[in-house]
């Protein structure tokens, strides 16, 4: 048995209309897909304006900094710098003066030290000369003493003499005399005998031997001649 009830027929879906396409396109625009050219141009213009504004801002900041540096007064012309420079200059001058004074003192000290050294050298030379003179004087004195002793041995005057003790044996003479008396005696005592004697006027010569006792009066100084 056939079912005479008619089933409603499925209608074919209508093709997408323009409005549907527009809605789909709108959804695609929101998603950023397949944007129309006029919208892409608009977005590009907006981005270009943003970039340009940022560039202008950065340029303004840079230009402001440059103008600030240009219009800022030089450090060397500020009052604070000038005062500091003056103070430093004054301190440098003071230190320079002190340094110069110190150098002068050092030079003076060196000069005085050199003078002291010269004086010490001169004193040392003088001392050496004095020592040499003293040595020479002592040598002369010693020679004079020796000569004096030798002369004393080679000469004798009036009186009684023991030959070989205070008179050196030898030949003695006088160049002149008046009533010269001389004698050889047996001893030095008052009771000694006269061995030989002589009285002369003018020169005289005698020979004395060790152990003899010789006495002279008014004869002067006898000098050894041999």
pLDDT, one tens digit per residue, over 54-63 is 665 655 555 5
Edge-to-edge strand list for the sheet holding 222-224: 155-156, 222-224, 170-174, 204-208
Could you tell me if 163 and 211 are in contact, meaning their C-beta atoms sit under 8 angstroms apart? Answer: yes
Pair 223, 155: CB distance under 8 Å: yes
pLDDT above 60 (res 206):
yes
- Most confident of the ranges 83-92, 138-147, 190-199: 190-199
Averaged over 199-224, what is the pLDDT?
Answer: 95
User: 113: closest CA among 103, 125, 105?
Assistant: 105
Q: How high is the pLDDT of residue 72?
A: 55
Q: b/e map of 143-165 (b: 16 or more CB within 10 Å)?
A: eeeeeeeeeeeeebebeebebee
- What's the mean pLDDT in 180-189? 94
Structure tokens at 16: 């997408």
In this prediction, residue 27 has a pLDDT band, given cuts at 50, 70 and 90, of very low
Q: What is the 3-state secondary structure (H, E, C) of the chain?
A: CCCCCCCCCCCCCCCCCHHHHHHHHHHHHHCCCCCCHHHHHHHHHHHHHHHHHHHHHHHHHHHHHHHHHHHCCCHHHCHHHHHHHHHHHHHHHHHHHHHHHHHHHHHHHHHHHHHHHHHHHHHHHHHHHHHHHHHHHHHHHHHHHHHHHHHHHHEECCEEEEECCCECCEEEEECCCCCEEEEEECCCCCCCCEEEEEEECCCEEEEECCCCEEEEECCCCEEECC
pTM summary value: 0.39
Which pair of structure tokens corresponds to residue 27?
Answer: 């959804």
């Amino acid at each position: 048995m056939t079912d005479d009830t008619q089933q409603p027929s499925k209608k074919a879906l209508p093709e997408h209309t323009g409005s549907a396409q527009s809605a789909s396109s709108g959804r695609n625009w929101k998603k950023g897909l397949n944007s129309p050219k006029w919208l892409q141009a608009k977005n590009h213009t907006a981005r270009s304006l943003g970039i340009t504004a940022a560039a202008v801002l950065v340029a303004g900041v840079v230009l402001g900094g440059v103008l600030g540096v240009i219009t800022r007064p030089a450090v060397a012309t500020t009052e604070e710098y000038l005062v500091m420079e003056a103070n430093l200059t004054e301190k440098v001058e003071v230190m320079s003066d002190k340094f110069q004074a110190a150098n002068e003192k050092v030079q003076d000290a060196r000069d005085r030290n050199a003078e002291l050294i010269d004086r010490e050298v001169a004193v040392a030379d003088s001392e050496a000369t004095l020592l040499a003179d003293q040595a020479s004087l002592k040598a002369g004195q010693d020679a004079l003493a020796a000569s004096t002793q030798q002369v004393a041995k080679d000469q004798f005057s009036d009186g009684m003499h023991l030959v070989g003790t205070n008179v050196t044996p030898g030949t003695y003479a006088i160049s002149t005399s008046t009533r010269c008396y001389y004698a050889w005696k047996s001893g030095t005592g008052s009771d000694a005998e006269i061995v030989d004697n002589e009285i002369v006027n003018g020169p005289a010569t005698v020979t004395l031997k060790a152990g003899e006792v010789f006495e002279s009066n008014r004869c002067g100084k006898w000098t050894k001649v041999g």
